[in-house]
Amino acid sequence: MEIGLFAINYGTCADPETAVRVARHAEAAGFESVWTGEHLVLPTRPPEGFTIPATLAFLDTLVALTLVAAHTTTMKVASGIIELPLHHPVSLAKQLASVDQVARGRLIVGIGAGYLEPEFAAMGVGLDERADRMDEHLDAMRALWTMDAPEYHGRYVDFAGVDAFPRPTGPTGPPIVVGGVSASARRRAVMKAGGWYVFNANREQAREAVDAIRTDLDRYERPAGLGPLELTVTPSGRFDAEAAEYYDELGVDRLVLLPRADVPTVSRHDPVPADAILRMIDTVATTVIGR
């Protein structure tokens, strides 16, 4: 089971120098990957249940991935997740191919449908369009990455007679990971992606999610060319060697850890001091990765 680190572009790591420092430390400690989060805008009047403050700093995902890719050599860089319906797939395909070139093939593209209505409204995209846009945008990007003469004809995306180089480093494009626990997200992961990502799940939620995706793997005919479905989880709560063993036995392929403060904080969204993130990396390297 691989270990990754989340939040390389927001909160404390919204500072570029800190992001590079943390990424390099994680790479030296044996972490397999670092992951960004994404919100293009945040609501100043949040809907019920949404607790992220509008003042929380987010470096743009693509900028942050390029930054850490340029300052690391072996560790994978991943988006966790890009809100795909809020991006134009032609420009996004170009940007991701460029990041993959900078990273020399170390890019993982995590995508999700998004859910925050004020964010969709600000971008001029209907929340009710997101499922259809997810499928169209992903297929359109793959067309640009893989077809000799790229073309795609859909409701939201339509092009032909164009091309874009450089292509990604691999012939099928960077690996795609679909985030989300809904039935449609699971189906999309099984039918269109190399992996599935469950974010901020406790042990019971992770087990239920793994059971659900295994049922879907029996239900849907997964294209053979996609290979085995890789399972990624960001666990909630306390993390130690015993927790790592639990997720490993559950069949999770990768854990992506949220930085957590080693002292009490007022809010879970308070930035975790950089030194605390580095100490967490060292602890995980000693107790989990180095076992």
pLDDT single digits (tens) 19-45: 999 999 999 999 999 999 999 999 999
Enumerate domains of the chain plus CATH numbers.
Answer: 2-289 (3.20.20.30)
Instruction: Read off the pTM.
Output: 0.96
What is the SS3 assignment for 203-246?
HHHHHHHHHHHHHHHHHCCCCHHHCCCEEEEEECCCCCHHHHHH
Model pLDDT for residues 234-244, shown as the tens digit of each residue: 999 899 999 99
Q: Which of 95-99, 169-173, 270-274 has the lowest mean pLDDT?
A: 270-274
pLDDT at 271: 83
pLDDT band at 214, cuts 50/70/90?
A: very high
Q: Residue 10 carries which DSSP code?
A: B
Q: Angle, to 10 degrees, between the axis of helix 203-219 and the axis of helix 183-192?
A: 60
pLDDT at 284: 97
Distance CA 80, CA 88 (A): 18
**Are 130 and 120 spatial neighbours (Cβ–Cβ below 8 Å)?**
yes
Model pLDDT for residues 175-192, shown as the tens digit of each residue: 999 999 999 999 999 999
Mean per-residue pLDDT of the chain = 96
Distance CA 88, CA 200 (A): 28
pLDDT band at 291, cuts 50/70/90?
A: low
